[in-house]
Amino acid sequence: MDKPAVVVLFGGRSSEHSISSATAGGVLRAINRDRFGVIPVGITRDGVFVLEDDDPDKFALDAAHLPEVVDNGTRIVWPEGGADRTLRVRLADGSVEPIGEVDVVLPILHGLHGEDGTVQGFFDTLGLPYAGGGVLDSALCMDKHFMKIVLQAAGVAVSPWVTVTRARWAADPEAIRADAAALGEPVFVKPARAGSSVGVSKVHDASELDDALALAFAEDDKVLIETAIVGREVEVAVLEGRGGGATRASLPGEIVLTTREFYDFEGKYLGGDGAEVVCPADLTDDEIAAIQRLGVEAFDAVGGRGLARVDFFLTPEGLYVNELNTMPGFTPISMFPKCWLASGMTYPELISELVDTALERTA
């Protein structure tokens, strides 16, 4: 190609496969084709890498039919390592054809086997540049238990919690119920390593705890029980600094809940009523500055690279970090792009920013 070749990598084995695929639809539609050559690579739910159609409409977000990557018979053959950056495809008839040299991979993967450092380590081993988080920050932020420990060590306030393993729940459920009771009511129960609010429940009293844990354990064998913080849900989008510069934070946005108890999967992606994404949020200058400052502090504390969305609870007592997402929702209607749009950066410019940062880091 006569311009940098970008592999847009999406789908994957996690429960957020369809959201990743929908993100790909937005990215394929908006990426600057005058600057970048695009190679769409999908990962099926079984973990098969296939060469996909360069068709944004194929992966449009439709609540009635969520997009997904299906096995089309092709197989991506990754470069062999060393100085080799040639991407190849094995066709259904067994023949292998070169696609071109890869300049950067844009992994828009959510959840396990994509946002947790595994695919990042794969590309590090091959020597392929990639956009977004690295191995350490991706792994830390994917696991909410360790993310909280790191943030606490850095002096960043997080909501009180206990971590429960499947083995401990099976061995001593009464001790877990006592730990949960000590956090007060209500509490949130969530898988330690999942996103998009999959497997998350709000538990109003002890009678709901067992079912909530069962739902969370269906996603992960490690689960968090957290105190429900009463406050405004505000979020800030963060980008790695360019050219050795400081980490950058957008104007904050807010999740405004009306009839929905929390911002669940339906509210995020399926057009469910009762939740609205507002950006910029209606905040004072001091609140904006504090949110931006703490967002940068949290990002730097986990060794952040590329991008993240930092989620907060804003309370009369101050700010609590809820979590960091190293590959946040990136559809055109998601909070991360909306925050940068409100801050003066378009969606195509944001995609270019991620690719350019990766290219710059490699150079």
Together in a domain, 12 and 50: yes
Q: Which residues of 97-127 are buried (b: 16+ CB within 10 A; e: fewer)?
A: eebeebbbbbbbbbbbebbbbbbbeebeebe
Q: Which residues of 179-197 are buried (b: 16+ CB within 10 A; e: fewer)?
A: bbeebeebbbbbbbbbbbb
- Per the structure, the complete domain to which residue 340 belongs is given by 140-158+230-362
Together in a domain, 91 and 75: yes
pLDDT of 259 above 80:
no
Together in a domain, 311 and 345: yes
Together in a domain, 154 and 293: yes
Summarised one tens digit per residue, pLDDT across range 332-360 is 888 999 999 999 999 999 999 999 999 99
Under the banding of pLDDT at 50, 70 and 90, the label for residue 262 is low
pLDDT of 138 above 90:
yes
The answer as to whether 135 is a domain residue is no
What is the domain-level CATH number for residue 187?
3.30.1490.20
The answer as to whether 320 is a domain residue is yes
What is the domain-level CATH number for residue 114?
3.40.50.20
Cα angle for residues 330, 190, 64 (degrees, 5° grid): 50
Summarised one tens digit per residue, pLDDT across range 85-131 is 999 999 999 999 999 999 999 999 998 899 999 999 999 999 999 99
Together in a domain, 153 and 122: no
Together in a domain, 148 and 214: no
Together in a domain, 120 and 248: no
Together in a domain, 68 and 177: no
The answer as to whether 31 is a domain residue is yes
Mean pLDDT of the chain: 92
**pTM for this prediction:** 0.89
Q: For the chain, what percent of residues have pLDDT higher than 90? A: 82
Together in a domain, 94 and 205: no
Q: How far lies 233's CA from each of 254, 308, 318, 328, in Å?
A: 6, 16, 12, 16
Structurally, how many domains does the chain consist of? 3
